[in-house]
Structure 1
Amino acid sequence: MSIRRIFFISLIPVVIVATGYIAFRKLALFAPPSINLSQYRTAEVDIGTVFRTVDAEGIVVPQSEVLLLSPATSIIKQIVQVPGSHVDAYQTILRLDPKPIQDEIASIEDQLEVKRNNLHRNRLNARGTRLDLDYNVEMKKLRIASLKSEVADEEELLEVGGISPAKFEKTKQELTLAEKELEMILSKNSIRLQQLEAEEQGLKLQIEIQEKELETKRENLSRTTVRAPSAGIIMSINGKEGEKVNRDQLLVRLSDLSSFKINGTVAEEHAEIIKTGNTVFAIVDREKLVGQIANVSPEVQGNKIGFDVYLEQSNHAKLLSNMQVPLLIVRRLKEGVPRIENGDGLGKGRRSEVYVVEGNKAVKKAVDFGMRGLDHSEISSGIQVGDRVIISDITAFRGRPEIDIINH
């Protein structure tokens, strides 16, 4: 058998395969006449946002730390938890010796008892003083009434010559003097009553201040058992058992596990999009959590740029400390444009042919795409908002201009 004949014989299978492929893709000889639409994914053209992203990496970390301070000067009596321990909300971390605060509370209670006694005594004295003042006023009023009566009698006697003018003038002067003394007594009494009121208010204010101080001390006494305000991890404990600590001295640094942020890194080549406020998506168990870039690191380490991501749902139930998560940094974004969900049926280029559901048929139409995004693609022309498009793989019937739909 000649070499030429062998060549032609070996070429026959290749020609058959190529012909079959062309018939399948171009001539649609083997394409099904109809499809069950429920076996295909469809999407509707709507108005929305299309965005492109850059891949990055991130680690979930507590968003903030809690600093627990000593409520008073005391001694560390017992350390219950050690650094690195996970604690739940209200779990005891350490205990301080309560005796110094208990002694302060006892001293304030004694002082309060003295001041309350002083207030009671002041009120009794004020009551006695008011009685004395009122008595003096009544005596002056009686004296004035008596003098007025004498003036009236002496005036009648003066008219008939029964009394000398000098005697009458003397009585009138005594009346005038008594009236002025009454005015002075009333003014002094008013001042004295105001003084008594001020003294009482001063004592009440002192008592109120010490009562608040006592309330604070009692609250501090309850804080000698140092508890975690929320779930977290103990970062450090500043002190040892038996060691003295001062008031407001830092005792415990605790990470707050009630809310999280993400420490992200991205290749240096994408530095231009790492700006405060730019949108980032964190992928947590196939769910996209929206966040914004903050606190961009000024240093480049290992050709990587570091940044923080603050999430809108910082307390999401699936977030765990030290969890590694993929990040998608939005590089370009268009809002309010016609778009459609991505799928294999849309092709990859700027122009493609898709199948639009029209009644009981799927009709092939040419579509021009704008920006191709992560989840959606922008529609420039070819189909309209509201059109329903088959977006899953359409290889089986790509060559047909239209195809019947069953079970629609």
Structure 2
Amino acid sequence: MKTLSNIPMENKTRFIIIALVVVILAGISAIFLLRPATNSTADRPSYQTETISRGKVFSSVKAFGTVESEKDLLILCPERSIIKKEYKTPGNKVAKGDLILELDGESVQEDIARMAAQLEMRTNAVEKIRLNLESTQIDLKHNEEVKKNRIEKLKTMLADQENLLQAGTISENRVERTRQEIDLGEKDLQKLMDKNTLRIAQMEADVNGQLLQLETQKSNLAEKKALLSKLRIAAPVPGVILEVGGENGSRVESGRMLVRMADLSSFKLVGMIDSQYSFLIKTGNKVLVHTDGGDLNGQIGKIIPIMDERIQFDVHLKEKSDPKLIPNQNLALDIITSDQENVLRVKKQPGFENSTRQTLYVVQGNKAVKTEVVFGTVGSDWCEIVSGLNEGDIVLTNGPDPLTSPEVIDFE
């Protein structure tokens, strides 16, 4: 029986080589047989696309701003008085209606009592004048009626005398004398009526004058009573007390500043930016204010150059009392330098800000064609398309570099 040890050395070497070749071929075959089948398109690059649309494009410069009260309120002293009690001091926050201080109202109460007494006296005087007017009107009316009755009697007498004159039992002179008495009586009656009318008009004017003074006194008394309530100085709006014009016991004159407070019902922002951007900061520029709860719209107001090569400016908000605003809060701002509405636009990609002329790949069926595009406004998120693309076009956003790639990319 032959064994491996009995085989000659030359044959033994040949046998080992053949065995190794068989093992290698079997391994290669196994690799190809066991490799999972793959789609023929797997090696193709995966492209991302963007559809050209219409919308808003704006460019801006970044800044920051601090939320502050838009205005300070001054509360003036309504009447010469003494500060009776101070409830709030500078630095205190107040809600609308909170009592800040109280003025002494003793002198005002004395004035109210005196004016009330004068008003009562005036009311009584007016009532007396009115009663006197009514009495006088009755007397004057009676006098007129007496004269009218006498004239009527004379007219009746004249009619009788004219009948007697025709009968020849009375003289013409007697009849003429009666006619003259009637004429004089009518003239006297008219004169009396004119005088009575004038006298009544004068008395009515006196009554109206007294009534006017009475109404003036009533109005003054009402104002004095209203003033008494104004001596309790309350916050007209929510805010922070900045200054109080006196201490307990100090005298204050009418019209003098009692309280100065920051109005926390209305806010603005005080913005700050490097002076190198001063040519972009114009009064009236739109501003986008970024808060945690969303963006707010505003507009640049007063601009003030300050030290340290910076520019300070006010931002007046459309929503001045928005609850997202917190006093002394620092917020990021976008100062709009160019604003375009309803224009063709594409999402901004790296490098778009370097030039307004870009080369993009536009998808046309199963291929993408290199196309030159001209931009207008290049914003922070979008770029305005002036020419080269139409609404609905699809462009590659992660394609190869157009400068070093072919004119056409075939997807098949």
> Do the two structures share a fold, i.e. TM-score over 0.5?
yes
Provide TM-score, normalisation by structure 2.
0.78
1:389 deviates by 7.1
Tell me if 1:121 matches 2:91.
no
Quote the Cα distance in structure 1 between the aligned partners of 2:58 and 2:297.
Answer: 13
Q: Following TM superposition, by how much is the alpha carbon of 1:230 offset from its aligned partner in structure 2, in angstroms?
A: 0.8
CA distance in 1, matches of 2:123, 2:165: 62
Q: Does 1:332 align with 2:346?
A: no
User: Which of residues 176, 185, 188 is equivalent to 2:195?
Assistant: 188
Contiguous gaps of at least 5 residues in structure 2: 1-40
Corresponding residue for 2:310? 304
Q: After superposition, what is the alpha-carbon deviation per residue over 1:301-343, rounded to whole angstroms, capped at 9, x for unaligned?
A: 2211222111111111111111112222222333442224546
TM superposition score normalised by structure 1: 0.79
Output one character per residue of 1:150-202: Cα deviation in whole Å (capped at 9) or x when no partner: 22222233334433333322221111111112212222222223223322322
Alpha-carbon separation, structure 2, partners of 1:111 and 1:362: 102
Tell me which residue corresponds to 2:179: 172
Select 1:215's aligned residue among 222, 241, 246: 222
Q: How far did 1:231 drift?
A: 0.5
Deviates more, 1:127-136 or 1:89-98: 127-136
Alignment counterpart, residue 375 of structure 1, candidates 378, 381, 384: 381
Residue range with higher mean Cα deviation, 377-386 or 268-277? 377-386
Q: State the secondary structure of the residue aligned to 2:264.
A: strand
Contact 1:346–1:353 (Cα < 8 Å) also in 2: no
What SS class does the counterpart of residue 265 from structure 2 fall into?
strand
* Among 90, 94, 110, the residue aligned to 2:97: 90
Helix, strand or coil: the match of 1:296? strand
Residue matched to 1:275: 282
C-alpha distance in 2, partners of 1:341/1:277?
Answer: 28
Is 1:45 the equivalent of 2:53? yes
Residue of 44, 60, 65 corresponding to 1:58: 65
The percent identity for this pair of structures is: 35
- Residue 322 of structure 1 is matched in structure 2 by 328
1:367/1:177 Cα in 2 relative to 1: closer, same or farther (>3 Å)? farther
Asked whether the equivalents of residues 367 and 379 of structure 1 are also in contact (C-alpha less than 8 Å), the reply is: no
The amino acid across from 2:43 in the alignment is: L
Q: Evaluate the alpha carbon distance shift between residue 228 and residue 339 of structure 1 in structure 2; reply closer, same or farther with a 3 A threshold.
A: same
The answer to whether the Cα contact below 8 Å between 1:47 and 1:385 also exists between their aligned partners in 2 is no
Number of residue-to-residue matches in the alignment: 366
> In 1, distance between residues paired with 2:123 and 2:367?
92
Q: Distance in 2 between matches of 1:318 and 1:367?
A: 45
How far 1:115 moved relative to its partner? 1.7
Return 72-81 or 181-190, whichever deviates more: 181-190
Farther-moved stretch of structure 1 (379-388 vs 284-293): 379-388
SS of 1:339's equivalent?
Answer: strand
Distance 1:174 1:362 in 2: 131
**Cα separation, 2, equivalents of 1:158 and 1:285:** 118
State whether structure 2 residue 151 is matched by structure 1 residue 144.
yes
One-letter amino acid of the structure 1 residue matched with residue 220 of structure 2: E
1:80 to 74, 87, 99: 87
8 Å CA contact 1:62–1:261 kept in 2: the answer is yes
Q: Secondary structure of the residue that 1:258 maps to in structure 2?
A: coil
2-structure distance, mates of 1:247, 1:273: 48
**Aligned residue number for residue 266 of structure 2:** 259
Letter in structure 2 aligned against 1:91: D
Question: Per-residue deviation at 1:355?
Answer: 7.5
Q: Secondary structure at the match of 1:53?
A: strand
When residues 356 and 205 of structure 1 are mapped into structure 2, their CA distance, relative to the original with a 3 A threshold, is: farther
Deviation at 1:81, TM superposition (A): 0.5
Question: Mind listing any 5+ residue stretches in structure 1 that lack a counterpart?
Answer: 1-26
CA–CA separation in structure 1 for the residues paired with 2:395 and 2:209: 83
Taking the aligned partners of 1:118 and 1:403, their CA distance within structure 2 comes to 109
How many angstroms does 1:129 deviate by?
1.4
1:1-80 matches, cutoff 5 A: 29=43, 31-32=45-46, 45-48=53-56, 50-80=57-87
| Residues 401/136 of structure 1: CA separation in 2 closer, same or farther (3 Å cut) | farther
> Structure 1 pair 328/47, CA: closer, same or farther in 2 (3 Å)?
closer
Q: Deviations over 1:263-297 (max 9, x none)?
A: 12222222222222122222222733221111222
SS in 1 for 2:324: coil
In the alignment, the residues of structure 1 paired with residue 239 and residue 287 of structure 2 have an alpha-carbon distance, to the nearest angstrom, of: 26
RMSD after superposition: 3.3
Residue type matched to 1:46 in 2?
A: R
Q: Does structure 2 retain, via aligned residues, the 8 Å contact 1:357–1:389?
A: no
From the superposition, tell whether residues 199 and 53 of structure 1 become closer, same or farther in structure 2 (CA, over 3 Å): same
Say which one has the larger Rg. 2
Change (3 A) 1:213 1:365: farther
Three-state SS of the structure 2 residue aligned to 1:102 is: helix
